[in-house]
Chains A and B, each alone.
Chain A
């Protein structure tokens, strides 16, 4: 018997990465801006998307959403009230969305008919950071009720994001939210990231968020 070392150098998530690269190509060819929204459970991803889908449609943009949860189609029903095409992905225990789930749930949708595709990930600040969904922009959300040190506790997720949205700013005062600490912590783990301070109740920061989406989308189209 002999033992020997065989070099493999193989990515463990290679299959997902390849599928995600395929999706990225499809989004790009169709001119659709794909965004992956990640946060803890209860941060307000669905509430932000409800507002965003409704407002984008009112302004003539075509947006659709895929929403991931372990169980129930509650979020899809909430989002569908905007009039946008919405599909629920139930992962039945899996803690993240992966590229294969996205690919399956896009079946029958004509991406070329869309300007925006929002993917609301499963509420979890750990596992979704490893799974590329082919998105162009990863948005991490943090609510004022969660604590300003969340970025330091989950640096891998915040570091992988392209934009950060602080939600529930209307509750900042009652929660004793230290805005400067939150901004500092986000910047510490992801220097230079674009940050939006929002509330779907008061309307704070939402125009700026929408402006960002439109700016990214037009850059996408004009190349």
Chain B
């Protein structure tokens, strides 16, 4: 249950980046979370409401985009997506595959903000 510290870190990071957009309000925060990142979306959502209270993120939506594990299969010579996280084998040839290309991500992809600034073309 380290979701609260993860959410606190999201609040800090987003608040920092808002310095460039004075007066902006956050509408949405989009995360990229790998299937092996060991975070549970429900817990993130639960903590998010609490941790954002009284910040510029208050009332914003948290959108969690879960990324499947992708490994490089040597014999097939290509990156393949795994169906789950319980078997690290190439779904095409069945060989064990450990060269991880995706699955541990834990990042803020983007934020949607609302402000009165003019949007540059």
Contact assessment for B13 and A12 in the assembled complex, using a CB-CB cutoff below 8 Å: yes
B11-39 to A contact mask, C-beta < 8 Å, 1/0: 00110010001000001000100001111
A90 to chain B, nearest CB (A): 17
- Complex CA gap A52/B118 in Å reads 64
**List of B residues within 8 angstroms of A155 by Cβ:** 36, 85-86
Which residue of chain B has its CB nearest to the CB of A193? B98
Known: A2-B119, A127-B1, A130-B37. A9 touches B108 (CB 8 A): yes
Enumerate A8-32 residues with CB–CB distance to B below 8 Å.
Answer: 8-15
Chain B: interface size category: 35 or more
- Complex CA gap A5/B61 in Å reads 13
Question: Does A189 lie at the interface of the complex (its beta carbon under 8 Å from any beta carbon of B)?
Answer: yes
B46 to chain A, nearest CB (A): 16
Contact assessment for B96 and A191 in the assembled complex, using a CB-CB cutoff below 8 Å: yes
Contact of B110 among A6, A188, A190 (CB under 8 A): A6
**List of A residues within 8 angstroms of B114 by Cβ:** 1-3
Question: Does B97 lie at the interface of the complex (its beta carbon under 8 Å from any beta carbon of A)?
Answer: yes
- Complex CA gap A9/B108 in Å reads 5
Question: Does A95 lie at the interface of the complex (its beta carbon under 8 Å from any beta carbon of B)?
Answer: yes
A63 to chain B, nearest CB (A): 29
- Complex CA gap A4/B25 in Å reads 11
Question: Does A213 lie at the interface of the complex (its beta carbon under 8 Å from any beta carbon of B)?
Answer: no
A185 to chain B, nearest CB (A): 9
**List of A residues within 8 angstroms of B1 by Cβ:** 95, 126-127
**List of B residues within 8 angstroms of A14 by Cβ:** 13
**List of A residues within 8 angstroms of B98 by Cβ:** 190-192
Instruction: Count A-side interface residues using an 8 Å CB cutoff.
Output: 34
Contact of A192 among B36, B37, B96 (CB under 8 A): B96
Known: A7-B109, A95-B2, A189-B85. A160 touches B10 (CB 8 A): no
- Complex CA gap A188/B87 in Å reads 5
- Complex CA gap A152/B84 in Å reads 11
Which residue of chain A has its CB nearest to the CB of B98? A191
B110-121 to A contact mask, C-beta < 8 Å, 1/0: 111111111100
Contact assessment for A191 and B36 in the assembled complex, using a CB-CB cutoff below 8 Å: no
Given contacts A3-B112, A8-B13, A96-B2, 18 further A-B contacts (CB under 8 A): A1-B115, A1-B116, A2-B115, A3-B114, A5-B110, A8-B14, A8-B17, A12-B9, A95-B1, A127-B1, A129-B36, A129-B38, A130-B2, A156-B38, A159-B88, A187-B96, A189-B86, A190-B98
Q: What are the 5 tightest A-B residue pairs by CB atom distance, in nearest-first order? A: A191-B96, A127-B2, A156-B36, A155-B85, A3-B114
